[in-house]
Chains A and B, each alone.
Chain A
Amino acid sequence: MPYKTSRVLDRELKKGSAELLILSLVEDQPRHGYDIGNLIERRSKGALKFNVASLYPLLYRLERRGWIQGRWVEKAGQRRRRYYRLTAEGKKVLAAQRNSWREFVEAINRITGIEHA
């Protein structure tokens, strides 16, 4: 049972956090998909990895909700790429999600006692 529980939790956590990750990464500057995927993998030291099949559909979904906006950009000497930037609504969502994530982490920490460790 513990194994099954933790896998369920893993999936739920990932689903709940993926949006937050993407919104955070495009907060300061527009980024293209490969860049986003790469950053998540690098910054999490490989603990989190999104492949094409999960990353792009999520981007499209966020775009459809109006939280990010994609735009084709051509730069000198490069093929054109689709860059995503945070919209005004996306900023609000990001703030709210950050908040609840913080609460959640604090909650988990209190339960699991990580902060005392």
Chain B
Amino acid sequence: MPDWKKEVRKSLSGLNLAPNHEAEIVEELAQHLEDVYERSIKTGATESEAKRIALLELDDDKLRHEIQRSQKPFHEQPVPGSGRLNVLADLLHDLRYAARMQLKNPAFTIVAVIALALGIGANTAIFSVVNTVLLRPLPYKDPERLVMVWEDATKAGYPRDVPTTANYIDWRDQNQVFESMAAMSYDNFNLTGAGDPERLDGTRVSASLFQLLGVDPQIGRVFTAAEDQPGSERVVLLSYGVWQRRFAGDPGIVGKAISLNGASYTVVGVMPTRFQFPFIDDQVWVPIAFTPQQAADRTTHYLRVFARLKPGVTLSQAQTEMSTIATRLQQQYPQSNTDVGAAVTLLQEWGLSDIRPALLILLGSVAMVLLIACANVANLLLARAAVRQKEIAVRVALGARRQRLIRQFLTESLMLSTMGGIVGLAIAYGGLILLRSFIPANIAEAREISIGFKVLGFTLLVSVATGVIFGLAPAIQAARFNQIETLKEGGRDAATGSSGKRLRSLLVTVEVAISLVLLIGAGLLINSFLRLRNVDPGFRVDNLLTMKIVLSEPKYREAEKRSAFYEELAQRVEALAGVRSAAVTNSLPLYALGNSITMVFEGRPEPPPGQEPIIGVRIISPEYFDTMGIPLLKGRQLTEQDTRTSPNVVVISEAMARRYWPNEDAIGKRIAFGRVQKPEDWIQVIGVVKDVRQTLTTDTKPQMYFSHLQMDFYPPEDLVVRTDVDPASMASTVRNAVWGIDKDQPVSNIRTMQEILADSIARERFSMLLLAIFASVALVLAVVGIYGVMSYSVAQRTHEIGIRMALGAQTGAVLKLAVSYGMKLVIIGIVVGLVTAFALTRVMSTLLFGVTATDPTTFTLIPLLFVCVAAIASYIPARRATKVDPLVALRYE
């Protein structure tokens, strides 16, 4: 007889069992083999045959594996239904299984992934904008302690007014909450002497600003306190961009002199490449160096004031302290400071107050799109879960527990959402390229929008959350299924008659509601934008070329020289072929708000301080009205004969005439800039012109026009040229004409009026386009959802419909039956959506123009549109059902 123990021991080698334990196993197994051997011998086998049969039982590899498994502690064994789970093994198993499921239904997978990718992609793209524009910390030292201080003139309509010098100095000297304060004012500099003359943007800043921000120059040094004094301020810091572009990155630039506005400034340093304070790359900084007159000025509002909070001081503490100081200043200087408080805001929020609501609304909108995508995929999964009931029945019978099934389903949905996330990232990447060209150019951060780690993390988070949201409902639904119930229905889809159908209907209703909200939001914005486009700016926008020509101080100090320059300029430009007329102004409409000034009226009492009428003022050349196409309504225009030696005259706007002389003729009335010392101070109204809008979104304001030949306290800066040909094509010709008069004269901002108009509503166009895109995606997804549910429901009822048709039901009746089910869901969704939209669109009111947030037209038309689209989506599957041959339908089982 063979030595069975030896054979068994051989099989068990390498398992490292405890010796006693091994001996027992060897004994038991050897006995078994011996029994098998003896039985074979008894039934007539030869000895070698019997041995072979016995050894077959042993199956070395399997035995070793199984024995090893049986030795493991109980809880690590993945036994179905045992109540203990091997998490990792299960996960791998679930993943493999999920992958198989996706591959088995490629159409399902593709549809689901595309829906999710659209949702996740849109979210990623918008989040990356929000992340860069709103959330990214400023690139300065401890940016959370950097604040701005404003004058709070809420009563006068300016809750964030730019401070005066004297107020700034008092704040700076009296506060205990700031480590330091700094002021800044915008300025422009004509750079000459090196290459083409150029007009550079720049700022005048306190010497303390750079230290306050915590930024060091790349080369050289920043300003000293001594340089921040009148007489010593001829020093300049260059931005990296200017240094590279204009001075070829000359490493020896520090200490050299450059010519700004015709004066010599010494370069003391170059700022690092990413330093864009306040907003742009290409600029220069010079010391602000207040003169004694400026330091005492409480009427000229022009500063931006920055401060760094002392460590431990909160924003509200700073606010309290500044309010106290402002109250003290009100009592001290009632003439200038009545009703003027102080407001402290985070530096981070500067310049974002306009774009913030738009971005947040967009972020909310894409979240809604994603929810709709989730609802769609959940619906698909529910339908599929219904089909998979048999599979689930077998698994439950084999001991699969509820949690285990839920996990399996969640693995599948997470796999889908992860794939959606990956494709979504690609969509977001493409979308960002598109987005960058749409985002308003004055948001400096826009250029840096990119997909970084934070955004990737966001996408991952959204993908996982998405997977859980749309996966949970079907998973629970599937796991809650009742074996017996399911099987009682004879293997037919249990979900048609039970909670599965309810859940799917609910999801469609929610989809309809959400997409309706989005569509109404988009409708309101589109409506606003169309109205905005149709606003009459008050002049003819076409065929106008504009450019900035700022004369620099020393060369054109005398008003006569400036007037002479502009007169010659107009003559030379008008002489060009293709030019109809040319004029100059100190500020263009739709581009800059322009200046305002307080006025007194002849024969009316002087108003108390703070209540003087403030009226917009423009300095123009006589040809301005003709060139711009602003019609004269009454009286006469300004002419070449209205000069410094003739009586002062003014042309006013319709709004001003209406406001100040409502029931009388304004022509011949007299106004003045302040106290009238001598009769010549009076200015006579000689004409009334049509209103011109400063921005398309604001109402027209009273406006006065003075001739630069008579007074140019705001020197002209902009040339406007009306052309007979495409205005853009005239750009270089006109510029050369300027250089023909003065070769050192910078020319900048060459743009057509059409471009200025488009830019002025870029933000509105941006919000409208994006929301319209998202709403369209939402509509498509919702319609696909309705169509899917209808198709499914009709397919389930083929049998019933067949019977009805066989019994003589008319096609129309059957159609009505099927469509009415779909439309019921849609109507409920629309009602819910309308109520939600009514509550939600209010947050959009700051983005709207000319329509209210509850615009009745939009609230009527959009639901109607939706009903039509939904009716079609329900009709198509219903129609298919009526085409069914009753015989086929009856055999459908």
Which residues of A line the B interface, CB within 8 A?
Answer: 9, 12-13, 15-16, 33-34, 37, 51-54, 56-58, 60-61, 64-65, 72, 79, 81-82, 100, 103-104, 106-108, 110-111
Contact = CB atoms under 8 A, between A and B. Distances in A.
Interface string B387-415: 00010011001110000000000000000
18 contacts: A33-B32, A51-B58, A52-B29, A52-B33, A53-B66, A58-B66, A58-B70, A61-B77, A72-B24, A79-B31, A82-B24, A82-B28, A100-B81, A103-B483, A103-B484, A107-B397, A108-B394, A110-B491
A108 B395 CA distance: 12
B893 interface: no
Listed from nearest, the 5 A-B pairs whose CB atoms lie closest are A104-B397, A57-B66, A53-B63, A53-B59, A60-B70
A81 to B, nearest CB: 7
Contact of A51 (B56, B399, B487): B56
B487 A110 contact: yes
A53 B24 contact: no
State the main secondary structure of chain B at its contact with A. Answer: helix
A52 B397 contact: no
A106 B77 CA distance: 29
Contacts of A107: 393, 397, 483-484, 487
B334 interface: no
Max chain B C-beta neighbours (<10 A), residue from A16, A53, A79, A110: A53
B57 interface: yes
A111 B390 contact: yes
B170 to A, nearest CB: 85
Nearest to A35: B35
A63 to B, nearest CB: 9
B393 A111 contact: yes
Contact of B487 (A12, A81, A111): A111
Contacts of A52: 29, 32-33, 57-59, 63
Contacts of A111: 390, 393, 487, 491
B67 interface: yes
A12 B391 CA distance: 13
Contacts of B62: 53-54
Given A51-B59, A52-B59, A12 B66 contact: no
A53 B58 contact: yes
B69 interface: yes
Interface string B64-75: 001101110010
Contacts of B71: 60, 64
Given A33-B32, A60-B70, 10 more contacts: A15-B80, A16-B80, A34-B35, A34-B36, A60-B71, A82-B24, A103-B484, A107-B397, A107-B487, A111-B491
Contacts of B67: 56-57, 60
Contacts of A110: 487-488, 490-491
Contact of A100 (B24, B33, B399): B399
Contacts of A9: 394
B472 interface: no
B69 A57 contact: yes
A58 B43 CA distance: 28
A12 B63 contact: no
Contacts of A51: 56-59
B25 interface: yes
Size category, B interface: 35 or more
Contacts of A12: 398
Contacts of B393: 107, 111
B74 A64 contact: yes
A62 B311 CA distance: 68
Contacts of B66: 53-54, 56-58
Nearest to B490: A110
Contacts of A82: 24, 27-28
A58 B58 CA distance: 14
Nearest to B35: A34
Contacts of A13: 398
Contact of B25 (A34, A54, A56, A72): A56
A100 to B, nearest CB: 7
Given A16-B398, A111-B393, A61 B63 contact: no
A57 B77 contact: no
Contacts of B487: 106-107, 110-111
Given A16-B399, A51-B56, A56 B29 contact: yes
Interface in B474-507: 483-484, 487-488, 490-491
Contact of B31 (A16, A61, A81): A81
Nearest to A63: B70
Interface in B72-91: 74, 77, 80-81
Contacts of B27: 82
B398 to A, nearest CB: 5
Contacts of B58: 51-53
Interface in B367-399: 390, 393-394, 397-399
Interface string B246-284: 000000000000000000000000000000000000000
A72 B27 CA distance: 11
A107 B393 CA distance: 8
Contacts of A54: 59, 62, 66
A107 B25 CA distance: 40
Max chain A C-beta neighbours (<10 A), residue from B60, B66, B484: B66
Nearest to A33: B32
Nearest to A50: B57
A62 B827 CA distance: 60
B57 A53 contact: yes
Interface in B5-34: 24-25, 27-29, 31-33
B103 to A, nearest CB: 13
A83 to B, nearest CB: 11
A104 B398 contact: yes
A35 B848 CA distance: 87
Nearest to B489: A110
Nearest to B60: A53
Contacts of B74: 64-65
A100 B491 contact: no
B354 to A, nearest CB: 62
A103 B397 contact: yes
Max chain B C-beta neighbours (<10 A), residue from A52, A108, A111: A52
Max chain B C-beta neighbours (<10 A), residue from A16, A54, A57, A58: A57
A100 B491 CA distance: 19
Contacts of B399: 16, 100
Contacts of B80: 15-16
A108 B396 CA distance: 12
A33 to B, nearest CB: 6
Given A104-B397, A111-B390, A34 B63 contact: no
A104 B395 CA distance: 10
Nearest to B62: A53
B777 to A, nearest CB: 38
Contacts of B24: 72, 82
A107 B71 CA distance: 35
